[in-house]
Structure 1
Amino acid sequence: MNAIVRQAGAPAATDSVTGPAPVIGLAVGRGTGPELATVFERVLAALTEGHPGGVELVRSDRLYHSYVSLRGEGDPAEIQGLTARDAEHYEEFCRSLAARGATAVFRTAINAQSLYLVRRRLRAVKVDLLREEGTSLLLVRDQAQGFYTGENEHAPGRLTRTLTFSQELTEAVIEHALGRARREWPDGRIDRIVMAYKFHLLDGAFDRWVAAAAERLGVPIEVYQPDTVNRNLIAHGLPERTLLIAGNEWADIMHVVLLDRFGSGRQENRCTENVCLDRGVAGLVEYQTVHGSADDLAGRDLVNPVATVRAAALVAERHVGVAGAVERVETALAELERDGVATADLGGRHSTTEVAYALLARLARTPALARNA
């Protein structure tokens, strides 16, 4: 096994011939997090077996709260304090990874309020490419501003949530989305660029910012209310290539609908990536399962590991340099589906461990391709 697991703050692993091992972060939340972290470690180790210098997997030394675990921690003020401490710790963990040259971290589900405090500070966007029969939708979710990133102030019988939008951050999100679209479609053709935000609530400032960015960047950008985007999607569908930049208030709710629309499978089987735009962590990508912490399944060996397995494959291929890792994993998952090896949520009768070991056995029978340079 070539993956070296260390706690955050431990000395870096170095090979005298190949130099420092690639550093990958691992952050674990409560609920089913510890079980899925084990799956991630094992699959990453299998995929990177034989990689020169190995892989250094740096695990955060804190087990972060889920929403369910927080509910038993006392009154709102105590919960707010724990939320803030989790956010501060995870932010510092991400910054420490970036300082060591890490480009990826896998995180299991944690409490959303802590998570979005970090996403605001690290200026994160979530990227998801959906495809069906020649049509591609690149969905870029603005996680750095808006309602999700607000902070709460408590008073007896009242809660005030304060949030911020800024022109500078809006332009940064647009520029990243355009850059990502040009990577996905190297010939440069983007048929339509749409932004879905509740801009009518922002006194005309937001759509003016977008218009200024569109003029500066030399691209047409259409800004719509989310309900208009929904209506147009139903009535007209999408052109072949659409870049959709969306406020998280709409995109989070609509994600499962878009997955269904594009025949992209169930949320429980998908992972996604979050890209940090803050200069201090630029280049760090956080991978996560789309599903939540599933606290009701914690410790029962019943959680679906497919999304975690896919995240391990993406990390191995994109960040360690293991060519063909995603294809190997997808082939193995297809074999498991064919053979009926699945957890109960997918209609199967197998445990998390049984699914993971069945997949590892199939990976062991398929040779790894040559590593990327």
Structure 2
Amino acid sequence: MTSSYRITLLPGDGIGPEITAVARQLLDAVSRRHGFSLVYDEQPMGGAAIDATGEPLPASTLEACRAADAVLLAAIGSPQYDSLPRQQRPESGLLGLRAGLGLFANLRPVKIIPALVEASSLKREVIEGVDLLVVRELTGGVYFGTPKGRVEADGHVRAFNTMAYSDFEIDRIARVGFQLAGERSGRLCSVDKANVLDVSQLWRDRVEAIHAEFPAVELSHMYVDNAAMQLVRAPRQFDVLLTSNLFGDILSDEAAMLSGSIGMLPSASLGESGPGLFEPIHGSAPDIAGQDRANPMAMVLSAAMLLRIGLKQEAAAADLELAVERTLAAGFRTGDLMAEGCTQLGCRAMGEQLLAALEA
């Protein structure tokens, strides 16, 4: 009997529909090749949902995501929505989706593809062989803490957010980090600011406590400012980086540039149960939307993570990743990765080359 999986697609805004079309084409091809089927349910989210329904995350979209085996999100956001109240902006829909699906663990792998070593702004000897994983806590910290807001008093305006974590929130993300480190090279570096932040001291205390459950994993701690420096100074020292929500948001985008372009990195957001959310870490790039200039690679690699983690289709995931490596090795590039001697392609043409590499 052929396995069938339900995938909720969230194309979103900007370049989202373009890269979603490429990923869907490749998912269809690789699923046929490996003998399973995918049923898609496309739903509006972000600016597209605001235009259609007046809210960034309609209840029907969240319900469709909950009913899926996995969710594939492209990108959301546009400057045209920046004047809306914060709770009505596209980004609030993303926070709501993470909370609504209970997605507390964000995984962002950074692995240097050999064909792209020269695309990085860092020297070959710095980035060659980099293979690290950022494990970011996703539903706590300063993005979700209360109280938050703005007040006016004595002729001045004051804005405030609260960085807060409870022990159980730290414990569960720490366990994810240790488990993944145990499956990789056995090294976990926990990033905090324990020298000045009480919440970071609790983070460090709890990570130390959970370490007792994983004695085979080597644990180290690093202040976030030093971690930011070390990522560009000597990134090969890292295997798994465990971070809070805010620090992980910043550090994973910094780590993305090791690969030469933020357009190359996928991510997975997971909870204790239910479907995972898979998405590229880049934004919606409204400045190039509709111009066939987007890089679909991160979306395709996110689809590979969906296959591997969300559907347990390891061989299909490996085929997609190999198609990306073969296409780049053949010298095909989108504009963000263009280098001398390479062939520049648009989003659709890159999708065709990826499909050819997959079918080869």
* 1:271–1:287 CA contact under 8 A, matched in 2: yes
Q: What residue number does 2:46 align with?
A: 64
C-alpha distance in 1 between matches for 2:22 and 2:264: 14
Q: 1:288 aligns with which of 279, 295, 304?
A: 279
Q: Distance in 2 between matches of 1:145 and 1:63?
A: 22
Structure 2 contact 109–265 (Cα < 8 Å) conserved: no
Matched, 1:179 2:179: yes
Q: 1:145 aligns with which of 133, 140, 147?
A: 140
> What's the offset of the Cα at 1:42?
0.9
- The answer to whether structure 1 residue 118 and structure 2 residue 97 are counterparts is yes
Give, in angstroms, the shift of residue 313 of structure 1: 3.4
Say whether residues 1:247 and 2:244 are aligned partners. Answer: yes
Alignment-derived partner of residue 9 in structure 2? 26
Aligned-pair CA distance for 1:229 = 3.0
Partner-residue secondary structure (3-state), 1:164: coil
Indicate the residue corresponding to 1:106 in structure 2: 72
SS at match of 1:308: helix
- Partner amino acid, structure 2, of 1:343: T
Deviation at 1:256, TM superposition (A): 4.2
Compute the displacement of 1:285 (Å). 2.4
Which residue in the other structure is 1:370 paired with? Answer: none
User: Kindly tell me: are residues 212 and 38 of structure 1, through their superposed partners in 2, closer, same or farther at Cα, counting changes over 3 Å?
Assistant: same
> Is 336-345 or 246-255 further displaced after alignment?
336-345
> Alignment partner of 1:360: what SS?
helix
Distance in 1, Cα, partners of 2:105 & 2:330: 37
Whether contact under 8 Å (1:87, 1:117) holds in the other structure is no
Does 2:198 match 1:202? yes
**Distance in 2 between residues matched to 1:330 and 1:232, nearest whole Å:** 28
The one-letter code matched in structure 2 to 1:243 is V
1:128 to 108, 116, 122: 108
Larger CA deviation: 20-29 vs 155-164: 155-164
- Superposed displacement of residue 45, structure 1: 0.6
Q: Which amino acid aligns with 1:169?
A: E
CA distance in 1, matches of 2:357, 2:188: 41
Map 1:294-309 to 2 at 5 A: 294-309=285-300
C-alpha separation between the residues in 2 aligned to 1:339 and 1:28?
Answer: 29
Alpha-carbon distance change, 24 to 154 in structure 1, aligned in 2, over 3 angstroms: same
Distance in 1 between the 2:184 and 2:191 partners? Answer: 21
Question: Does structure 1 conserve the Cα–Cα contact (< 8 Å) formed by 2:268 and 2:305?
Answer: no
**What amino acid maps onto 1:58 in structure 2?**
D
Contact 1:302 1:352 in 2 (8 A): yes
User: Where does residue 82 of structure 1 map in the other structure?
Assistant: 55
Alpha-carbon deviation of 1:31?
1.3
Amino acid at match of 2:336: D
Number of corresponding residues: 319
Name the CA shift for 1:88/1:327 in 2 (closer, same or farther; >3 Å).
same
The one-character-per-residue Cα deviations of 1:274-301 (angstroms, maximum 9, x if unpaired) are 2223x4x2xx322111211111222222
- CA 1:214–1:303: 2 relative to 1, 3 Å: same
Structure 2 counterpart of 1:212: 209
Instruction: Specify whether residues 208 and 155 from structure 1 end up closer, same or farther in structure 2 by C-alpha distance, changes over 3 A only.
Output: same
Question: Scaled by the length of structure 1, what TM-score is found?
Answer: 0.71
* Aligned partner (choices 45, 67, 72) of residue 96 of structure 1: 67
Distance of aligned partners of 1:124 and 1:88 in 2 relative to their CA distance in 1, 3 Å threshold = farther
Deviation of the 1:202 alpha carbon: 1.9
Instruction: State percent identity of aligned pairs.
Output: 23
Tell me the TM-score normalised to structure 2 length: 0.73
**1:84-139: per-residue Cα shift (whole Å, max 9, x none)?**
xx276654443222xxxx1x221111233332343345142222344576665332
Task: Tell me if structure 2 keeps the 8 A contact 1:117–1:149.
Answer: no
State the Cα distance separating 1:166 from its structure 2 match.
Answer: 0.7
Structure 1 residue aligned with 2:81? none
The unaligned stretches of length 5 or more in structure 1 are: 1-16, 74-80, 367-373
Q: Structure 1 CA distance, aligned partners of 2:206 and 2:165? A: 11
Cα distance in 1 for residues equivalent to 2:327 and 2:220: 43
> Could you tell me how far apart the structure 2 residues matched to 1:317 and 1:216 are?
26
Q: What is the CA distance between 1:56 and its match in structure 2?
A: 1.6
* Preserved CA contact (<8 Å) 2:45 2:93: no
Q: Cα RMSD between the aligned structures? A: 3.6
Quote the residue 1:226 is aligned against: 224
- Structure 2 alignment gaps of length 5 or more: 77-89, 112-126
The residue number in structure 1 matching 2:79 is: none
Q: Report how far residue 335 of structure 1 moved.
A: 4.7
- After TM superposition, list the pairs within 5 Å mapping 1:29-48 onto structure 2: 29-48=12-31
CA shift for structure 1 position 33:
1.4
Change (3 A) 1:327 1:120: closer
